[in-house]
Structure 1
Amino acid sequence: MDEKFDCIIVGAGIAGLAAAMILARNNMKFLLIEKGDFAGAKNVSGGVLWGTDLARLVPEYWKEKDGGWERFINHRRLTFMDEQSTFSLDFKSSHFDEPPYSGVVVLRSKFDRWLAEKVQEAIDESDYAMESFIATNIKVDEVLMEDNKAMGIRTGDEEFHTDSVIIAEGVNNLLSRQVGLQDDYVPADHMLTGIKEVIRFDQKVLEDRFQLDGLSGMSNEFVGYATDGVEGGGFLYTNRDTISLGLVAGIKDMREKEKSPHDILNHFKEHPVIRDTIKGGEVVEYSAHVVSSGDKRVMPRQLYKDGVLLCGEAANLLINAGKAIQGMDFALRSGIIGAETIIKAKEQGDFSSRTLQEYRQALDDSYVMKDINNFQDAVHMLHSPEMYRDIPNLVCDFGRTFFTIDNQPTQKSRKLFSASVKKHSSYWDLIKIGFKGAKSL
């Protein structure tokens, strides 16, 4: 058997699995390598996979009785918090109920394993059913380079040769650095720590508590008190019989304020609204991992070179512009585009950067880079102290006074709002924030 592959993919996360699916369906001979015991074994994250690209990989996935996803999202909520109160913007609509769903909640250890099974099915149906592989429990030590071109990978004492390499190793970009596509040092002020607990309930209790019908689900983002004064925000996603509750917090800000991820998460859970929300639940999982802030300045200078390209978190493709935390959908689309680029390179017999530059062009033409470029001002604004401190405090203070009825003469709303503004900010600051918001969104 010729041991040279058309492509070797490093990492069986969403980006790597999406790339593998496209390669398998186009009769490419490839090797997908994962260091965990199975796809998803090393991935502790989860959340909402937005968009409809999943249906492109697994048509009619929603018809499977035991698919890899938890619930579809038809209920969105953004919550401002101070130490006593919450004030939410809430939207729920039946137009989200029809598949292909615009967002599905996933637990990555389950979802990635399920998607890997679908990739294996595609391999089995391809012309290279006996020569393409998903290899788990293998750590890639090095991308083999010759004349500055990727030629294969080394794992331990073994070498595997290929025409191209897709690096989808995630945010801990060791191989990206090794091949010269990422700086040796990424500033901490561009990185966040994600902390999450999975809390189990009786399924009926969970569905009653969050007003869920069938497999409908809710996503809830939190701004303000959630992070105890540290840059970042909170989230809650409903799974089948659990919720994912957690935070993303700035690494640099957390270090300067001498706070730990565990302490901030406990602070969040002690809020009276969160305490009521999780009452009776059992914590069955705790995890933490590094994520990008969505600032494009942390992206590698280049996403490709001769014989190699970067997908997903390895390319720091993530954004939170206030509407949603997007990363998994970016990973999936970049994996698809990366694989399509490799297929074209094989057709042309040219895996050099001259051909692989089409990957960056296609990525730029997609919603991924268009959103990253268009909403950078929103990313920066959301990470400003005004947005995770002053505005939530102002909104909640106004809500408390507006909704309090105490058998006293009731003030006009504008007077109540003015009092809250005077206490927590100023009209001039609000004008500046409003202008920034209008410009960035």
Structure 2
Amino acid sequence: MDEKFDCIIVGAGVAGLAAAMILARNNMKFLLIEKGEFAGSKNVSGGVLWGSDLARLVPEYWQEEDGGWERFINHRRLTFLDEQSAFSIDFKSSHFNETPYSGVVVLRSKFDRWLAEKVQNAIDESDFAMESFIATNIKVDEVLMENDKAVGIRTGEEEFSADSVIIAEGVNNLLTRQVGLQNDYVPADHILTGIKEVIRFDQKVLEDRFQLNGLSGMSNEFVGYATDGVEGGGFLYTNRDTISLGLVAGIKDMREKEKSPHDLLNNFKMHPVIKDILQDGEIVEYSAHAVSSGDKRVMPREVYKDGVLLCGEAANLLMNAGKAIQGMDYAMRSGILAAETIVEAKEQADYSSQTLKQYKQKLQGSYVMKDINSFQDAVHMLHNPTMYQDMPNLICDFGRKFFTIDNEPTKKSRNLLSESVKKHSSYWDLMKIGFKGAKSL
């Protein structure tokens, strides 16, 4: 393998695999390197892959009997929790049954492996079937630089040369810093810990409990008591015969409040509403990993330089603006755009930053950066203690009073709301949050 590659991709997550698929279909000679035993073996996350880019990579994926996805989302729910109660905003529509699906639930260890098989099929059909590779169980120690331009990678004692390198290493920014695109680790106050359990049920029990039909599924986000006063929120996604249940919590806030991820998750599971959901379930997997907060201030100062592009969480492309946690779709789109830029660079025989800056332009013109730029105020607002402490308590307190029927004169709703506001917040605070919410969303 002394010959030169058009491109080396570091990381076989969603971003790296998407990039590899585009390169293979454009008859590029490339090397995709993954440090795990197989694509997805080191990836413990799972959730919803939003949008239609998957259909672009794997046309009519929904017709595969044993595809890499679990269920399509046609039921969305946002739940506010206090210590005893839950108040949910619930939406379900047959509109979401249409293909390509607007969102599919995935377990990454399964999904990434499946997508890697599709990439291998594309390689086999390309002009470089014997010269492009997916190489696993390999850790990239260094991106080789000459005159501040990427010229390949080093792994152990071996070196591989390439005209370009796509870094898709995830939130661990070792290579991103090494090539000079980021000065330091992302600070702790901009990094969250994702904690997840996969809990198995009899499939009919699961489908009855969540009112699922066929391969329809539900996504449920939680705000409030889910994180026991720590910055963050909870999630629940329905898989084929399991659910993914977990939390995303601020590392700095968790440390300052002396709470561990395991304790937070156990506390979440003991909430009366969650406890009922989990009845008769069997824990089959526990995992944790770091994720970006979605604050663009911690993004690398640039996503390209001579011979190098960053995509996915290596570029801190993630956002939670309250409607959904978006990361995998951003990773997939950025991987596609990075690969398209490399294809254009080969056509021009120019892998300099002057050519590769087109990737940034593509990214800025895509929904990824348009959303990240448009919804930064919402990202900041969600990390305000009022949003994950006072507001859920207020909403649940009002709900409890509104839905309680006893043998006493019934108060008007406005009076019940006023009581809840005075107990948990103030009208002034609500006005400020309302104004910020209207402005940011």
Question: Do Structure 1 and Structure 2 share a fold, with TM-score over 0.5?
Answer: yes
Helix, strand or coil at the partner of 1:249? strand
Distance 2:418 2:408 in 1: 19
Map of 1:333 onto structure 2:
333
Map of 1:425 onto structure 2:
425
Distance 1:173 1:239 in 2: 31
Map of 1:56 onto structure 2:
56
Map of 2:79 onto structure 1:
79
Contact 2:173-2:185 at 8 Å conserved across structures: no
CA displacement at 1:240 relative to structure 2: 0.2
Helix, strand or coil at the partner of 2:120? helix
| 1:255-270 alignment, distance < 5 Å | 255-270=255-270
Structure 1: runs of 5+ lacking an equivalent:
none
Map of 2:31 onto structure 1:
31
Contact 2:149-2:306 at 8 Å conserved across structures: yes
Helix, strand or coil at the partner of 1:264? helix
Contact 2:311-2:335 at 8 Å conserved across structures: yes
Helix, strand or coil at the partner of 1:246? strand
Helix, strand or coil at the partner of 2:363? helix
Map of 2:246 onto structure 1:
246
Map of 2:98 onto structure 1:
98
| 1:271-310 alignment, distance < 5 Å | 271-310=271-310
Amino acid at match of 1:255: R
Distance 1:271 1:185 in 2: 35
CA displacement at 1:324 relative to structure 2: 0.2
Amino acid at match of 2:309: L
Alignment of 1:113 onto 2:113: yes
Amino acid at match of 1:217: G
Structure 2: runs of 5+ lacking an equivalent:
none
Distance 2:133 2:3 in 1: 12
CA displacement at 1:2 relative to structure 2: 6.2
Amino acid at match of 1:307: G
Map of 2:177 onto structure 1:
177
Map of 2:406 onto structure 1:
406
Helix, strand or coil at the partner of 2:104? strand
Map of 1:234 onto structure 2:
234
Amino acid at match of 2:279: K
Aligned residues: CA RMSD: 0.6
**CA deviation map 1:285-321 (0-9, x unaligned):** 0000000000001100001100001010100000000
Contact 2:196-2:247 at 8 Å conserved across structures: yes
Distance 2:416 2:329 in 1: 42
CA displacement at 1:180 relative to structure 2: 0.7
Runs of 4 or more, structure 1, over 4 Å off, are none
Map of 1:141 onto structure 2:
141
Helix, strand or coil at the partner of 1:17? helix
**CA deviation map 1:256-284 (0-9, x unaligned):** 00000000000100000000001110000
Alignment of 1:378 onto 2:378: yes
| 1:303-322 alignment, distance < 5 Å | 303-322=303-322
Distance 1:170 1:318 in 2: 11
Helix, strand or coil at the partner of 1:121? helix
Helix, strand or coil at the partner of 2:47? strand
CA displacement at 1:182 relative to structure 2: 1.4
CA displacement at 1:187 relative to structure 2: 1.2
Helix, strand or coil at the partner of 1:291? strand
Helix, strand or coil at the partner of 1:371? helix
Amino acid at match of 1:139: K
Amino acid at match of 1:199: I
Distance 1:341 1:269 in 2: 45
Distance 1:398 1:178 in 2: 52
Distance 1:338 1:392 in 2: 40
Map of 1:131 onto structure 2:
131
**CA deviation map 1:100-136 (0-9, x unaligned):** 0000000000000000000000000000000000000
CA displacement at 1:98 relative to structure 2: 1.0
Map of 2:224 onto structure 1:
224
CA displacement at 1:218 relative to structure 2: 0.1
Q: How many residues align?
A: 441
Distance 1:374 1:107 in 2: 29
**Which one is further off, 183-192 or 279-288?**
183-192
Alignment of 1:360 onto 2:388: no
Distance 1:291 1:299 in 2: 13
Amino acid at match of 1:344: E
Contact 2:2-2:160 at 8 Å conserved across structures: no
Map of 1:122 onto structure 2:
122
| 1:388-399 alignment, distance < 5 Å | 388-399=388-399
Distance 2:379 2:206 in 1: 32
Percent identity over paired residues: 85
Alignment of 1:188 onto 2:188: yes
**CA deviation map 1:200-253 (0-9, x unaligned):** 000000000000000000000000000000000000000000000000000110
Distance 1:124 1:205 in 2: 42
Amino acid at match of 1:401: K
Distance 2:384 2:193 in 1: 17
Distance 2:208 2:191 in 1: 37
Amino acid at match of 1:391: M
Helix, strand or coil at the partner of 1:347? helix
